[in-house]
Amino acid sequence: MRVVKASDVSWSDHDTGPRGGGLAFKTMLAGCEGTLDNYLWVIARSEGARYSPRHRHNFDQVRYALQGDVSIGKRKTVHQGEVGYFPEGTHYGPQDDAGQARTTLVLQFAGASGHGYMSQRQTARALEELKAFGDFEKGVYYRKQGPGKKNQDGYEALWEHVNGRTLVYPKRRYEEPIISDPRNFGWRPTREAGVSHKSLGVFTERQTRLGFFRIEEGATWTQEAETAARLSFVVSGGGTCGDEACEDSTAIEGASGDRVTFTAARPTEIFQVVIPSYA
C-alpha cells in the first residue's frame, strides 16, 4: 500500500508534451514501467489555452473534474464534479480550453486489450529523441526527415518510437466517452456500519470499476485483498489509512494483494477506480 498527499507533491513545470503545453502536474502515483499493470495518476492544472485534436488511445483514461470544466469535443464537456471514462480505441476531441482555469484528476492505465501504458520516463525520452527529426504542435507530430508518417498523432508517434512497431488501435468497445454525474447516483449501504457506496459503472470484460465511498466519522472502511489494483482519492474529510494520516486530496494505492483499512476522523468521501489486473 502507498499513500501520497497532494500537499507533499510539487507542481511540475507546465507540460510541453505531445499534446502541447498549458498544463502543470502533480504526479501522485505511478505503476511499474514495462508491466501491463503500469499506470499514471496525476492532478492536472490548467490556467491557459490548450488545444488537442480529435484522437484516440490504446489505453484507458479516467478524468474527474475537481475544479472547472474540461472540454472533450465540440459541444461536449466534463463539467465540474463529473467523471469521464475514456475507453481505448474510442475517439474524442477536439479539446479546446481557451484560457479556462481547471483542475482535473487524471488516471491513465492499460485497457482491456492489454497494450500496457508507457511510463513518464519513456515518453519524455522519446519526445526529446523525435524532436531531432520534427516538431510537435497542437497534438500532431510533423516529421521533417527520416522514415515514418509526415503528419502523425503526437502520442502515436511516441509509442511507435518506443516500441519499434506500428500502433494498431484496439477495436472500440464504446462509441463515445462515458460521462457521469456522481451527484445523481444514490448511496447504498455496505456490510460495514457507517460506510456507503455509489457505483458509477463497471466497464469491459476486465471489469474496470468506478465509484465513491462515504465513511461516517469514527467508522472504518476495509477492503480485502484482490488481484486488481485499487486507486483511491480522498475528495473530502480525512482520517488514517493503516498507520498513515490522510487528509483531503490524498491518493491511496491498494496494489494487488494489499488489504486496505481506512478509519475516518470526520465525515469522508473517497473516489475510487479499480483497474484491470494482468497477473
- Which band of pLDDT confidence, cut at 50, 70 and 90, is reported for residue 21? low
Residue 211 lies in a domain: yes
Residue 13 backbone phi and psi in degrees, to 5: -65, 160
In a domain, 235, yes or no: yes
**pLDDT confidence band for 148 (50 / 70 / 90):** confident
- pTM above threshold 0.85: yes
CA distance 104 to 79: 10
- The predicted pLDDT at position 146 comes to 87
How does residue 54 score in pLDDT terms, banded at 50, 70 and 90? Answer: very high
C-alpha dihedral (258, 199, 70, 65), degrees to nearest 10? -60
Please say if the pLDDT value at position 99 is more than 70: no
Domains identified in the chain, total number: 1
Give whole-number Cα distances, 54 to 15, 94, 114, 276, in Å.
19, 4, 23, 26
Q: Among 20-29, 64-73, 119-128, where is mean pLDDT lowest?
A: 20-29
User: Is 129 part of a structural domain of the chain?
Assistant: no
Asked if residue 51 belongs to a domain, the reply is no
Report the SS3 class of residue 183.
Answer: helix
Q: Each residue of 250-276: pLDDT tens digit?
A: 999 999 899 999 999 999 999 999 998
What would the grid cell of residue 80 be?
A: 465540474
Domain coverage including residue 241: 180-275
**Angle formed by the axes of helices 120-130 and 154-163, nearest 10°:** 100
Q: Would you say residue 223 lies in a domain?
A: yes
pLDDT for residue 19 is more than 90: no
Residue 104 forms part of a structural domain: no
Cis peptide before 87 (omega within 30 of 0): no
What ranges in the chain are assigned the alpha helix state H?
120-130, 154-163
CATH at 249:
2.60.120.10
d(CA 172, CA 182): 25
In a domain, 147, yes or no: no
User: In the prediction, which pLDDT does 15 show?
Assistant: 64
Instruction: Kindly state whether residue 227 falls inside one of the protein's structural domains.
Output: yes
